[in-house]
Every structure is written in C-alpha cells, then in structure tokens.
Amino acid sequence: MASRSAAFSWTPKQNKSFERALAVYDKETPDRWKNVAAMVGGKTAEEVKRHYELLMEDLRSIESGHVPFPNYRSSIKDTRGRATVGLTDEDYRLLMHLKLQRQ
C-alpha cells in the first residue's frame, strides 16, 4: 500500500492523466476507478476515487461562494500594448528603464 504522503501527492502528469481518464470512463463504466487508476499509474483505485471526491468537494465550495477569489494584480500594458501580467507598477517602471546590452 502507498504511504500517506504518496497517496496525497499527485504529479502534474498524473493529474492530466486523471482528467483524461475521467473523460474516457464515465460514472456508468464498470470498474471505473480501477480503469482510471490504470490510466493514471502509481495510484490505487481507492486513491483515484478519493482524489475525485476531493475535487468534487472543492468544486462545490467554489460554486457555493465559500472560496474567495484571489486578489490578482491587474495587468499592465507595455509600450506596445502587450499585457505584462503580474508586474507591479514599480516592476514595470524598472523594466521600462532597463537597457539591454548587445554583445
């Protein structure tokens, strides 16, 4: 049996495989969780089922308004009108004054 940390640790690759497996094996599929686990790799049927249940809990919380939206920084446009998402005004000011040297 997998350790507790391994049971809760999912790689990005496993999460993507999990998403694909859910698209292939719907709730009517016999042995759904066994099939999903086989597609994911490194997880048991119980682990993928629990992962699904946690995902559904998260979705219900988000949809019911119990999860606040993060306070994203607004995007800033550069001199060419391109968005520079995630930069503060100070970051943007410094970047605009940065001179790149050619070698």
Q: What angle do CA 16, 33, 59 make, to 5 degrees?
A: 55
Q: Read off the pLDDT band of 67 (50, 70, 90).
A: confident
- Note the pLDDT tens digit of each residue in 16-41: 999 999 999 999 999 999 999 999 99
**How far apart, in whole angstroms, are the C-alpha atoms of residue 46 and residue 48?**
6
CA atoms within 13 A on the CB side of 93: 3
pTM, entire model: 0.59
pLDDT at 57 over 70: yes
**How far apart, in whole angstroms, are the C-alpha atoms of residue 66 and residue 57?**
11
pLDDT at 2: 45
Computed over its alpha carbons, how large is the radius of gyration of the chain? 22
Q: Read off the pLDDT band of 68 (50, 70, 90).
A: confident
Average model confidence (pLDDT) for the chain? Answer: 79
